[in-house]
Amino acid sequence: MQTRWNPFAVSNGAVALGPLMAREFDQLFRDLSLRPDSRELVPPADIYETAEGITLQVDLPGHDPKAIEVKVENDTLTLRSERKTERSDKDGARRLERSFGVYARTFVVPRTVDASKVEARYDNGVLTLTLPRREESRPRVVEVKVNS
């Protein structure tokens, strides 16, 4: 009878990942959240649009608010921040799942937005960007006059 060799099998047939293999799998899944063209992490964002403008909410937990850079240039809004690790890899860590490094995200800003009035607020790990509409692009209510 032939037995198929399984490099991950423990004596009872269960699969176990050693520390090196587990670390490689963790890195593989961490890399899936990276931009394909760089090593920058892409933070998740929600975008809301109203008559007054656009609101972006970006998750940046653990970031120093003073180190968050928001730049509006032409029709592009770019945000960039770095989350630094508090400990070194040699501090006896048993498992490291949180991501550290440079986070960056770029958004195309519609021409209806007044880029000179963009506001940024950071609260509880969420960066909220408010992009107001230009006055001339806001919807207007036109009064209907009735001839008597």
The predicted-structure confidence for 33-89, as pLDDT tens digits, reads as follows: 554 555 789 999 999 998 889 999 999 999 999 999 999 998 899 999 998 877 766
Residue with the two structure tokens 């587990």: 22
Q: In the sheet that 69-73 helps form, which strands lie side by side, from edge to edge?
A: 69-73, 76-83, 101-108
Integer CA distances (angstroms), 31 to 7, 61, 97, in order:
24, 19, 12
The predicted-structure confidence for 2-29, as pLDDT tens digits, reads as follows: 666 555 555 544 444 445 555 565 555 5
Spatial distance between the Cα atoms of 28 and 41, rounded to a whole number of angstroms: 14
- Give the contacts of 51 (CB within 8 A, at least 6 positions apart): 133, 138, 139
